[in-house]
Amino acid sequence: MIRPILRYGERPLHERAADVTAFDDDLHRLIDDMIETMYAAPGIGLAATQIGVPLRIFVVDLSVGRKAEDLIVMVNPVFVERDGTQLEEEGCLSAPGFNATVIRPGRVLARGANRTGDEQTIEATGLLARAFQHEMDHLDGMVFIDRLRGIKRDVIVRKIQKLRKSGKW
């Protein structure tokens, strides 16, 4: 089932998610809904918090559904290592129409469970490392806009406030 994606400014999007404690049918349905929602958007990643579920889960697929083996499901993820730097433009399904350059680690090592609860450790570089960090931010209640400073952040936030007032957000 495709679920509505929360937008920047909606409270649940800005709150820290809780650990998953049960790997049951409800979790599998949630993950399936997240994958379907991500592909429908379309996007390369989606955190549970973006659909209003305060659990530490994200899905990422750089192929946007073209290669089944590229789909990654991370439950209760943590970073084991982060190093290097990359400076690239990012967007977000929770802030449609807005992009900005964000500094991120160039390489990450993330550990978490897969959808059945088996532990996995994934090393990611480049865009995949960026996607992992972006989705982990969501699980901590942050959106990429929160990482911006100065005029760039102010301009985006003001535009979103204007859109909200006019009912277009």
**What residues are paired with 135 via a beta bridge?**
none
Asked if residue 139 lies in contact with residue 132, where contact means CB atoms within 8 angstroms, the answer is no
Q: Report the alpha-carbon distance of residue 137 to residue 90 in Å, rounded.
A: 13
For residue 148, give Cα distances in angstroms to 1, 25, 53, 164. Answer: 33, 38, 25, 20
Where are any strands of DSSP class E within 28-137?
45-47, 57-60, 72-83, 86-91, 99-104, 107-113, 119-125
* 135 counts as catalytic: yes
**For residue 41, which amino acid is it?**
A
| Token pair 């084991």 in the structure block, residue | 80
Catalytic residue among 89, 90, 119, 135: 135
CB 75, CB 91: distance < 8 Å: no
Please give the positions annotated as active site. 135
